[in-house]
């Protein structure tokens, strides 16, 4: 069994995934709207749209490490 000294990439977040953006003592509800790729020091960056958050920007880019998954994206289409 060989050991790999490189860090493995975390699981990618997909478009449509509902997430929470961590703030000190709180969080923002959001949904991933675009995968920007592994562009910031090898970290995946995604664009999110906030949900019912009038005091924050509607959309912004963030590293995935600052997000918690609330509900994974689904491939099913609504009937």
Q: Which of 62, 28, 66 has its CA nearest to residue 45?
A: 62
> What's the rounded mean pLDDT across residues 58-68?
93
CA separation for the pair 67, 36 (Å, rounded): 15
The more confidently predicted of residues 75 and 17 is: 17
The residues, any chain, with a CB within 8 Å of residue 47's CB and separated by 6 or more, are 32, 33, 34, 36, 59, 60, 61
Q: Are 31 and 15 in contact (CB under 8 A)?
A: no
For residue 71, CA distances in Å to 14, 40, 48 come to 11, 25, 14
pTM across the whole model: 0.75
Q: Average the pLDDT over each of 18-22, 23-27, 72-76 and give the range with the smallest value.
A: 72-76
């Amino acid at each position: 069994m060989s050991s790999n000294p490189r860090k493995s990439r975390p699981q990618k977040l997909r478009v449509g995934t509902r997430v929470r953006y961590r703030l000190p003592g709180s969080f923002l509800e959001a949904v991933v709207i675009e995968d920007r790729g592994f562009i910031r020091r090898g970290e995946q960056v995604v664009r999110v749209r906030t949900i019912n958050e009038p005091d924050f920007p509607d959309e912004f880019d963030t590293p995935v490490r600052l997000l918690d998954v609330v509900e994974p994206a689904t491939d099913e289409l609504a009937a």
